[in-house]
Amino acid sequence: MENSNNIKEDILQKIKSGKVKMKPKIFFVLKTGFFILLFLALLLFAVYLISFIVFMMKASGLWFMPGFGLNGIGILFRSLPYFLIILALALIIFSEFFAEHFAFVYKRPMIYSLSAIVLIVIISAMATSQTSMHAGIFQRARENNLPIIKPFYEQASNIRPENMHAGIILDINELDFNIQTLSGQNLRVIPCKNGKGKTPKILSTGERVVIIGPVKNNTIDCLNILKVADDGSLTPLYKMRRKMK
């Protein structure tokens, strides 16, 4: 009883002397606002990062690897940008952590909120990747207009999985053809053996292709080739140089 009185007296004395003060209502309003803003910022960053990963995979050709079957899937898993994927996952987990601040989230099993966040992020990221946002930034980075972002976007042209080459056809001959990769490297392609050593007729200049095959002295010995859809958002370097001239 004596102890209890001591505690009470001590607290009341601190309150009356002003040593202990109530935090104003605005502090809690701002704190909630800060949590909401931080949650949205993390979500937006996750959307941006995942859409960038998709862009990078499409630009480098990795996205199309499953089209080559098991061999392509193997290359895909060996070459995924794991650091960025882990970073995106960490952002999603942090978003969930901030969402758990709100009663309507923590009162329900975590799987619901986490699934909702993952779904929102993936749908928004896929929608963003359909726009030319990243291609535009990438283009400006290549033109040296974005010094800070440049190294980040350069990763897209630096993904070069072993034996996988993506590029745009520069010219076609009967027995070989030349491509230019995203980083501006020109490579000669010896057509695939299954094409009886001739350039497939379905290919034409300016088309984007992904090729699997070993490279030696800037010449690819094609094992498999895939023509991929090009939305025209990635201007090849040779066209850029022409424009600049």
Partner 1 sequence: MQDISKNDQELAILVQSGKVDFFDILFNRYEAKIKRYAKKFIYQEEEINDAVQQIFTKAFINIKSFDSQRKFSSWLYRIAHNELVNLLKKKRHSFLPLFNLDVFLPRNYINNNIEDNIDRKNMQKQVEQTLEKIDAKYREPLYLYYIEELDYKDISEIMKIPVSTVGVRIARAKKLMKNILNSKII
Q: How far is the CB of 112 from partner 1 (least distance, A)?
A: 8
The SS3 assignment for 180 reads strand
d(CA 65, CA 67): 5
Give the residue from 194, 230, 229, 234 showing the smallest Cα distance to 212.
Answer: 194
Q: How far is the CB of 114 from partner 1 (least distance, A)?
A: 8
Between residues 22 and 70, which has the closer beta carbon with respect to partner 1? 22
Q: How far is the CB of 111 from partner 1 (least distance, A)?
A: 6
Given its phi and psi angles, is residue 134 left (phi above 0), alpha (psi -120 to 50 degrees) or beta?
alpha
Between residues 27 and 77, which has the closer beta carbon with respect to partner 1? 27
DSSP letter assigned to residue 215 = E
Residues that bind partner 1 (CB under 8 A): 3-4, 7-8, 10-12, 14-16, 20-25, 27-28, 100, 103, 106-112
Q: How far is the CB of 99 from partner 1 (least distance, A)?
A: 12
CA 44 vs. chain centroid, Å, equals 13
Between residues 25 and 216, which has the closer beta carbon with respect to partner 1? 25
Residues for the chain: how many in total?
A: 245
Q: How far is the CB of 109 from partner 1 (least distance, A)?
A: 4
Between residues 25 and 196, which has the closer beta carbon with respect to partner 1? 25
Q: How far is the CB of 88 from partner 1 (least distance, A)?
A: 19
Q: How far is the CB of 39 from partner 1 (least distance, A)?
A: 16
Between residues 21 and 243, which has the closer beta carbon with respect to partner 1? 21
Q: To the nearest 5 percent, what fractions of the chain are helix, strand and coil? A: 60, 15, 30
Residue 184 near residue 237, CB atoms below 8 Å: yes
Between residues 111 and 229, which has the closer beta carbon with respect to partner 1? 111
Residue 220 near residue 189, CB atoms below 8 Å: yes
Q: What is the enclosing helix (H) or strand (E) of 189?
A: strand 186-190
Residue 166 near residue 182, CB atoms below 8 Å: yes
Between residues 20 and 37, which has the closer beta carbon with respect to partner 1? 20
Residue 173 near residue 204, CB atoms below 8 Å: no
Q: Residue 178 phi/psi, 5° resolution?
A: -115, 140
